[in-house]
Structures are given as C-alpha cells and as structure tokens.
Amino acid sequence: MTFTNAYAAHQPKDQVKPFKIERRTIGKEDVQIDIEYCGVCHTDLHFVNNDWGMTQYPVVPGHEIVGKVSAVGDSVNKFKVGELAAIGCMVNSCGVCSSCTQGMEQYCQSGFVGTYNHPTEDPGGLTFGGYSKRIVADESFILSVPENLDLKGTAPLLCAGITTYSPLKRWNAGPKMKVGIVGLGGLGHMGVKFSNALGAHTVMITSSESKGEDAKKLGADEVILSTDTVSRNKHNGQFDFILNTIPVKHSLDPYFDLLKIDGTMCVVGAPELFNVNAGQLVFGRKTLAGSLIGGIKETQEMLDFCSVNDIVSEVEMLQMEEINIAYERMVKSDVKYRFVIDMNSLN
C-alpha cells in the first residue's frame, strides 16, 4: 500500500480539501496510473453534496482520468510503463452477467464498481477517484489513449464523451438522418461534435442565441431556439433522433413534437422523474429512451474515433486548489464547456 495526496469532502456540502489516501498494492493484473489531468463532472458535485442520498464519506471525486502508466502487475500484457492510459466511470464489474459478457459493464446486473465512492476491499473501504496523484485499477478497465489526442481535452471524453457517443451510435446517427441535440453544456457540446462527425444533419436546440452561435462553430448545421414557439413548430415531425442533455427537470412535450413517426428521444442529462404525455408516443409510434455511459470496449472505440476525427472536449483548466470555485461556477453553468484539473498542481 502507498500513500497518495488527494482532495476529499468529509460531509455534505463540505469544501473539497487536501487529504491523504492509501492505494492498494499493485496486484498481478493491476495498472498504476500517475494522473496528469482529471475532468470535473457535475456528478462530482452531486456526490460531494450527497444530493442523491448515497454518498459515503470521505469522498474523493473524479472519474475522467488521464495520465501515464507508472507500474504494472506481473500478468499485465496490455500496458507498459510510460504509455498513456485513462480511466472513466468504472473500475470493475461482476464480469459474468449477460450485460458484462456482452461488453456492457455499465449495465452490470450486480452494479458496476464506480471509480469513486463505491465499497471496496481496498484501503479506506471505498474507491477513491481522480482528484489524486495516482490510481490503481484492473487492466481490463484501463483504456489506451491515442498519442495524437490532447490530454487536457481527452479527460472529459471518459464521461461526457462516452455518455453522448454511446446513444448516438446505438440509434445509428449518420448520413440522411436529422439529429437534434438539446442543451449546449458539457454533454451537449460533445453531442454536437459526435453527431457532426458521424455524418448526421445536426441541429442544436437551445434557449440561448449565443450558445446557438457556439454550436455552429462546433459543427451544428442548424440552430432552433426552443423559446421561439413559431420557429420551433416549423420543424415538427422532422427529427429521426433527439439527444436530450438538459440536466434539470423540464417538459418533454415540445421535443416529442419534433420527432418523426418512429423517432426516438434519448435522455442522458437528468436522473429525475418526468411527466410523459403518452398520447404523443402513441400517436406517432415514438420512443422515449435513456442511456448511461458505454462499456469498456465502446469507450475505447470512442477514443479511437476521436483520434481519427480530431475530437476532444472544449475545456477550461484549473489548479487543484480552485476546485471549490469551479463548483460554484458549474452550478451557474459558467463554463465552456468542461473544467479539467491539472493534477500536476497537487503536491
């Protein structure tokens, strides 16, 4: 076991502060990564605040991790010391259920082991995340980072990226399809980039004119202002697929109207209950779906896709000690479009 400097919260709505943790001894199939960058996800703040009632303290957030391999176990054959590597939202799963055996560990029927705040036999009794100098995990949950990708912009791909890539691939976004991306934030801006790269006619649906202009720079072909009812209604019945990234409860009705017969809206942004107008689904054979992240194989596929298409997240860099200020700004949606911590700032 080795001690590692980290940042942790110790009670609900606490400041995230310096904290020393222990990492387990490297096992035969383990990889140790010296963390260079860690993205900041809104989920981190939810766990710090115990918004979902499941946080166990101390919590060391961070599940958008990139760095270099610094040690490997005797049986590891996929990674060598010095190579670029990454960890996303999971560090283990049961490995034997129907989901895991199909490469969909995110839907593990026993529940995947989260990168942080999950019970473990490791020192401390909980998994500790990427707000730390290094991390140890099983090689089967480690991802290879293509050399040509900017590491800073790669970090958010491990959550925001795969959260949007997975449903766009699942519903076959591509040429001759009209795809709507609702909301231009950490998720939405990646949705625009991926939809465009997949060849779909990509439409940003937003309440902000300024964000509409940003969306066009990111690859959107059109922009619909959701607050302009007359203009929005002109697009009713035209969309094959809508990716809804709005992170708070809202009415789904206007977006169902935009879908074609047999069209699908997939929600990835808000784990809250919605009021659904079943009539809109019935009279149009429309589908409301949800999606989590992706499995390890699909996440690696996404990273390779990003390498070929020169895609990374738009980021704003932080020093580790600025994390609490970043949380305050994140609540106000004051970031374009993802915070990333330079972990070299953590001594």
Q: Which domains does the chain have, with CATH numbers?
A: 2-159+294-345 (3.90.180.10), 160-290 (3.40.50.720)
- Exposed e or buried b for every residue in 81-117, given b needs 16+ CB within 10 A? eebbbbbbbbbbbeeeeebbeeebbbbbeeebbbbbb
pLDDT in tens, 59-105: 999 999 999 999 999 999 999 999 999 999 999 999 999 999 999 99
Q: Which residues pair with 68 in a beta bridge?
A: 34, 84
In degrees rounded to 5, what are phi and psi of residue 113? -90, 115
pLDDT at 228: 87
pLDDT at 347: 78
Q: Which residues pair with 259 in a beta bridge?
A: 239
Cα 276 to Cα 263: distance, rounded to the nearest angstrom: 16
pLDDT at 247: 84
Q: What is the pTM of this model?
A: 0.95
Spans of the chain, pLDDT less than 50: none
pLDDT at 239: 98
pLDDT at 112: 97
**Terminal-to-terminal C-alpha distance of the chain:** 19
Those residues whose C-beta lies under 8 Å from the C-beta of residue 121, and which sit 6 or more positions away, are: none
For tokens 């439409």, the residue is 203
Q: Among positive and negative, which fits the CA dihedral 178, 218, 305, 106?
A: negative
